[in-house]
Amino acid sequence: KFHNGDSYICLSTKKQNNKLSWDIHFWLGETTSQDEAGVAAYKTVELDELLGGSPVQYREIQNHESRKFLSYFKQGVRYIEGGVESGFKKVQRGVYEKKLFHIKGKRLVRIYSVEVNVTSLNDGDCFILDDGKKIYCWCGKDSRRTERIKAMEVARSIRDDERGGKAKIYIIDDGVDPDSKFFEALGGFNRDQVLSAEAVDDDVSSKKDIHLYRISDASGDLEMTQVDERPLKYEHLDHNDSFILDIRGNEIFVWVGSKCTTAEKTNAMSQAATFIEKFNYPKWTCVTRVIDGGENSIFKQFFVSWPNRNILVAAPKYSSSNIGKVEIHIEI
C-alpha cells in the first residue's frame, strides 16, 4: 500500500546468466510535498550511483504508474489517504478510521481509497468497506471476475496483515446476497442509490507519434534538436550526448550516452521534467531513464536497427544474497 501524501523508492533486482540487473522506481503520491519528491529523486540518484550507474530509472506518478511497476504487486496497488509520520509531517497514530476502497481495472487492477458514501459505489466495480473488525467485500452486479478476485485478495490481506487475522470478512454479491448490513455500515444508505456503471476501458492504448530529440545544456539552457530522419535507427544516437524519445501523450525515455559527463548523467531526470513542462505535457507523464549499453527491450523496439553489443557496465561486487527486492520509504 502507498500513502498518497508520501514518496517511495522501489528497487527491483534480477539475476540472469549470473549477472545482476536493477530497475529503480521512485513513486510520487498525488499530495506528496515538494520536499519529499525532491528527496526521492535525490536518493534515487544516490542509489543509482551505488549500483554503478547501470539501473534503469522510472518516475512513477500515482494513478499513472507503468505496467512494469504495477506487475510487482500481485494483489494490486492500494492507495491510502494521508502520509506516514516523518520529519515533513505529523500524523495522529492509534486512531481508527472507517475506509472504503474502490477495486477497478481490467488487466491492471488498482485499489483506490474513496469517500465513505454510497455515491462512491457503482454496479460495475468492486468495493471494500473496512470497518475495523468487520470487512465488507461488495461486488457490483456488472463487475469483472478479475476485480472480484482482487477484492477478495485485498480483503484477506487487510484481515491478516492489519487486523492480525481477527476481523471477519463478509462477501456480498450484488443482487444475490443480503446487503442491508453493508449499507448500514456505509452510513444508512440503500441499494437504490448505487450509480450505474459507465462504459470505461481502463487499459485503452493507442499508437502515438514518436519523436527523438538530442539534448544539450552546454549554453546553460536546455536546448533540443529534433531528429527528423525516419525511421529511427540506432545510428541516430550519439554516445557523447543525451536524447529524449517522446512517445507523445504516453511516456518519455531519456537515453544517456556512455561518454556523457557525470553531471549530464545525474541531471537526466531533471531534463525530462523540463521537457514535460516545455511541451505542457501532464505532470504525471511516465519517464524512464536508460543508459547507453543497458537499454531495455521496450526502448529498443522504437528503432528499426539495433546492433548486438557486448558492453559490460561497471557495477559494484555484491553477492546475490545481499540484494533482493527492496522498498525504501522516504522518512526525513
Q: Residue 62: which CATH number? A: 3.40.20.10
Better-scored residue on pLDDT, 219 or 10: 10
The residue written with cell numbers 542509489 in the block is 47
Q: What is the pLDDT confidence band of residue 199, given thresholds at 50, 70 and 90? A: very low
- Report strand pairing: 134-139 vs 126-131: antiparallel
Residue 329 falls within a domain, yes or no?
no
Q: What is the pLDDT confidence band of residue 324, given thresholds at 50, 70 and 90? A: very low
pLDDT tens, residue by residue, 82-93:
766 544 444 444
Please tell me the distance from the alpha carbon of residue 8 to that of residue 2, in angstroms, as a whole number. 8
Shared-domain flag, residues 223 and 183: no
- Cis-peptide, bond into residue 231, ω within 30° of zero: yes
Does position 319 have pLDDT exceeding 80, yes or no?
Answer: no
Q: What is the pLDDT confidence band of residue 208, given thresholds at 50, 70 and 90? A: very low
The pLDDT of 153-177, averaged and rounded, is 86
Residue 93 falls within a domain, yes or no?
no
Better-scored residue on pLDDT, 304 or 108: 304
Shared-domain flag, residues 80 and 9: yes
Shared-domain flag, residues 39 and 128: no
Q: What is the pLDDT confidence band of residue 49, given thresholds at 50, 70 and 90? A: confident
Shared-domain flag, residues 22 and 79: yes
Q: Which three cell numbers stand for residue 303?
A: 528503432
Q: Which three cell numbers stand for residue 106?
A: 481490467
Shared-domain flag, residues 183 and 243: no
Shared-domain flag, residues 229 and 263: yes
Does position 96 have pLDDT exceeding 60, yes or no?
Answer: no
Check residue 274 and give its pLDDT.
86
Check residue 311 and give its pLDDT.
43
Check residue 330 and give its pLDDT.
40
Cα 38 to Cα 27, 135, 191, 217, 268: the distances in Å are: 11, 37, 45, 21, 14
Shared-domain flag, residues 110 and 182: yes
Q: What is the pLDDT confidence band of residue 41, given thresholds at 50, 70 and 90? A: confident
Check residue 212 and give its pLDDT.
93
Residue 241 falls within a domain, yes or no?
yes
Shared-domain flag, residues 253 and 283: yes
Phi/psi at 155 (nearest 5 deg)? Answer: -60, -45
Residue 167 falls within a domain, yes or no?
yes
Phi/psi at 23 (nearest 5 deg)? Answer: -125, 130
**Which of 158, 193, 228 is the last residue before a domain boundary?**
193
Task: Count up the domains in the chain and report the number.
Answer: 3
The overall average pLDDT reported for the chain is 79
Does position 214 have pLDDT exceeding 60, yes or no?
Answer: yes
Shared-domain flag, residues 24 and 79: yes
Does position 30 have pLDDT exceeding 60, yes or no?
Answer: yes
Q: CB count, 10 Å around CB of 247?
A: 17
Check residue 249 and give its pLDDT.
58
pLDDT tens, residue by residue, 145-162:
888 888 898 888 888 877
The pLDDT of 74-100, averaged and rounded, is 64
Residue 327 falls within a domain, yes or no?
no
pLDDT tens, residue by residue, 237-290:
989 889 999 986 567 899 999 888 777 777 888 888 888 888 888 888 888 889
Residue 199 falls within a domain, yes or no?
no
Residue 261 falls within a domain, yes or no?
yes
Check residue 312 and give its pLDDT.
41
Q: Which domain holds residue 103?
A: 99-193
- Give bridge partners of residue 86 from the DSSP assignment: none
Check residue 84 and give its pLDDT.
60
Residue 125 falls within a domain, yes or no?
yes
